[in-house]
Each structure stands twice: as structure tokens, then as C-alpha cells.
Copies of this chain bind each other. A is one copy, B any other.
Amino acid sequence: MGITKTQIFNEEQNDLAQFFKVLGHPARVAILQYVSNQNACICNDLVEEIGLAQATISQHLKELKSIGLLNGEIEGKKMCYCINVERWETIQNQLNNFFNKTKSNCC
């Protein structure tokens, strides 16, 4: 099929999986690392930096925006992408909560 049966899972499970999924591509990991290491916000040297076509980078940026992890601000004909730190921390907390609650075990 290829279609995920989201209806049979609860909201927490679907949300967590959604975050993980968006972060689950090396280009998106690389974008986040690069954006956070720039002092200036004017990005999109990303295309050169990462080595994927402009259309592809744009698509990955869209996915990172879809979970609120990146904000894009228009600055003339350039875009200023930056990490939404508040959202970032919220997500980190949710993931840690998952890890901490889930690691107890019997073996």
C-alpha cells in the first residue's frame, strides 16, 4: 500500500512519528546544522553548500517549515531561514519525554 494507518494510533504517537519522519533525511539534518551555524540568517548558499538541486532544497525546507522548526522571512528577493528556537525546544522536550518514559524494560 504505502499508506500509513494513522487512524489506529493516538495523537501522541502520530505527532512523535511525524517529527521523527521529517528529521529522518540527511539533507534536512544538514540544513538544520547549516542554518544554525550561520551568524547571518541569509541562507541559500544551501544549494551550493549541500549539493542538491535548488528545487530539491526548496522542497526539504518546506517540510521543515511544516512542523514549525524553521521560519522563513522574506528579505527582498532572498529568504531568511532560521530555526524557531521555541518550537525546537518543545520538540526536543517531547522526544526526551518519549525516550525517558519508554526505556524501562525487563531484560
Q: CB within 8 Å of B: which residues of A?
A: 4-6, 8-9, 13-14, 16-30, 32-33, 35-41, 50-52, 71, 73, 80, 82-83, 85, 88-89, 92, 95-96, 98-99, 101-107
A50 to B8, CA, bound (A): 8
Say how far A95's CB is from chain B's closest CB, in angstroms.
6
Given the contacts A83-B103, A105-B35, A26 and B14 also touching, CB distance less than 8 Å = yes
Smallest distance from the beta carbon of A1 to chain B beta carbons, Å? Answer: 10
Copies of this protein in the complex? 2
By the criterion CB–CB under 8 Å, are B103 and A89 in contact?
yes
* Interchain CB contact under 8 A, A33 and B20: no
Residues in chain B near residue A88, CB distance under 8 A: 99, 102-103
